[in-house]
Amino acid sequence: MSTPSIAQLQRAIAISEQIEKLKADLNSVLSSAQSTEGVSTGNGKQAAAEPKAKGKRTMSASARARIAAAQRARWAKSKGNKAAVTSEATLATKAAKPGKKKRTMSPEARGRIVAAQKARWAKFRKAKK
């Protein structure tokens, strides 16, 4: 067997480094797929524990309204609409304050609206024939 040249040795070192890197990547993938408690990475080190997933964040209606108003104001400003910018700013301040309680419709009122709508559609269909 002949002695390898310097170029061949350098290539062998590069390949072995790639192999080590791929082994480390494989271990990290496998350790994240399994439970991280007490999982060994194969080289005597313990895998790092994954952070636990947090619950879904929620945002209040007034915060969403403020953010939406600010975004509309930014769009109006970029489009050169100065009047909209000032009105959006006032809307943002109004949205931040709690307003009246949301009103609901009684079942009787909803029934009257449904009946009137059905009558309008019946009249439309009759006229169409």
In tens, the pLDDT along 78-102 reads 888 766 555 655 655 555 556 677 7
- Please determine, for residue 68, whether its predicted confidence score (pLDDT) is greater than 90: yes
Which pLDDT band holds residue 32 (cuts at 50, 70, 90)? confident
- Please determine, for residue 30, whether its predicted confidence score (pLDDT) is greater than 80: yes
Is the residue at 120 inside a domain?
no
CB 62 within 8 A of CB 98: yes
Is the residue at 6 inside a domain?
yes
Is the residue at 26 inside a domain?
yes
The domain in which residue 16 lies consists of 1-34
Reduce the secondary structure of the chain to three states and give it as a string: CCCCCHHHHHHHHHHHHHHHHHHHHHHHHHHHHCCCCCCECCCCCECCCCCCCCCCCCCCHHHHHHHHHHHHHHHHHHHCCHHHHHHHHHHHHHHHCCCCCCCCCCHHHHHHHHHHHHHHHHHHHHHHC
- Please determine, for residue 4, whether its predicted confidence score (pLDDT) is greater than 70: yes
- Please determine, for residue 117, whether its predicted confidence score (pLDDT) is greater than 90: yes
Is the residue at 45 inside a domain?
no
- Please determine, for residue 33, whether its predicted confidence score (pLDDT) is greater than 60: yes
Is the residue at 25 inside a domain?
yes
Is the residue at 4 inside a domain?
yes
- Please determine, for residue 13, whether its predicted confidence score (pLDDT) is greater than 80: yes
Which pLDDT band holds residue 49 (cuts at 50, 70, 90)? low
- Give pLDDT, residue 42: 55
Is the residue at 70 inside a domain?
yes
- Please determine, for residue 64, whether its predicted confidence score (pLDDT) is greater than 60: yes
- Give pLDDT, residue 48: 57
- Enter the pTM of the model: 0.26
Q: How many domains does the chain have?
A: 2
- Give pLDDT, residue 120: 96
Is the residue at 129 inside a domain?
no
